Structure 1
Amino acid sequence: MLITKYLNAEARFTGTVRYFPVAGASVIENYRSPDFYVFLLFEKCSGIHTVDFIDYQQKDLQLHISFPGQIHSWNSGSDTIGHKLLVSKSLIETSLFVTQFAHLKSNGYPVIDISHEVFNHLVREFSAIGHELGLPTPSWDVIHLRTQLVTAITNRLLEEVTDVTSIQKITHPVLVKFQFLVEEYFREMRSVAEYAEKLFVSANYLSALCRKFKGVPPKKIIDQRIILETKRLLYGTDMSIKDLANNLGFPDPASFSNFFKSNTGMYPKKYKNGGSSLK
């Protein structure tokens, strides 16, 4: 099972780009994605891929996108054939790769169905990157340019998906900035007023925008991001409740546990031990 075989090698990944072939069945529970981006291109596949506690059906001709720190589980069939590309955060986030997913730092579409034409385009780039990496003296300029092309194609796919599901699309520039700020400051900023101040708008205006375009108040968006990170850390690390509270900016374990219970119906320890079905 090549997917399982390569997980340890992935965890030790320290370069900018790495390629792995994928084949065969694999079952993994609550695997915390290391600190890089992963592009997983399936030619054939069946099963379930769970990304941050949401289930996605695995099918032929799909592109799966993994962000740093996400929690993954999967049960892939024996028919699985594909290609995996690991790309460092620095290459994605500090290079000239202007991509929707890197800009928003939000993996809203981790699984995308693709056409035969798009698959053939992507598989050529994945295979060429793998070939170049296997040379005695690989050209990193070539590797990085081909990786940039993969991210550009992915960005176009995400834009197409977003257009199709326009009802969920963030259409106001203030909300784009708000989501970016939540991703950056959710550990230290809890109140809507703090975010509104950074956005140079009133808290009431930010609330009106969130309700209009997202259907929820801004406080719910902030709290949901904290809850997601809590779940990631509960399943992906061995941190104590005290360490979790400290990591997420709570003054003490009690306030952290009460916050989590008020949003999920369970205390953190109970959720980790028996709440895996709670999405």
Structure 2
Amino acid sequence: MAHPDVSLSQIVQQYLDYLAYNKRYSKHTIDAYRRDIQRLVQTLDDHGHSHWAEAQADTIRAAMIGARKTGLAPKSIQRILSSWRSFFTYLLQQRMVKLNPVEGIQAPKSPHKLPNSIDPDQMSQMLNAPIASDDPMALRDKAMVELTYSCGLRLAELASLNIFDIDMTDASLVVTGKGNKSRQLPIGHYAIAAVKTWLQQRPQLKCFDANALFINHRGRRMGVRGIQMRMAKMAALHGQHMHPHMLRHSFASHLLQSSGDLRAVQELLGHSNISTTQMYTHLDYQHLAKVYDKAHPRAQAKSQLKEKPKHD
């Protein structure tokens, strides 16, 4: 299989150089593209194609079906299709092909996984644990967790909060989310109390960012990585695992289970499309279905049912 003007290996190398020098992709990413394109070369060879222009959508589709049958995960297939699509776009720009055979081909959807959430009782136990009043870092960490769980904040939203974003009297805050869209959120009284306690301790620290609500021990705004590490450390002290997005999932799941008001949860989470919020209803049903299958005696598969021993 060869191109009339340039060898196959030269075309592939030119593309990888383009990714390295024009797109500034990392070596790890380029290596992944190289493996995917080698797979494409093998696919075209298997179908008897002599050059790129002979590639057809049916060939690509058949390759993906074959990959799925071999047990390749949907996410891996999605990545391969994305690599192939980008490569053919490059070939189009170089006028080596007249169409992109990967356009319009849908990858199999990855199965929805139930997001990890924290049990309300475990959350209460962790947040109600006593904290030394002279430990400003611990008080700050508790305030970050309380606020994230109370408002369903994204990690970036929490990190970007300023002191003036919170109205203590009105028990609300204004946060700027994705798409630079702002939304006003109510704050629970536990979160308000935790934030007030933290702000009383905050002046003890050097501060180089007067507006930042949460600062680190060097007096600078807490970054997303720092927040993740501190939340994980706080949870580990209580034998738990926790990260900011888990708190957001917990907020959404617990609120939806209690209220059933999907539209309100959508507004609170800042989802522009309600279909994104509906994930929580679907996943909640999946969880209930699993509980049912395990618990109900007549919901078990036949292979799981054991025949009762016969007695003479």
User: When the two structures are superposed, what TM-score results if normalisation uses the length of structure 1?
Assistant: 0.24
Structure with bigger strand share is: 1
Higher radius of gyration, 1 or 2: 2
Structure number with the higher helix fraction is 2
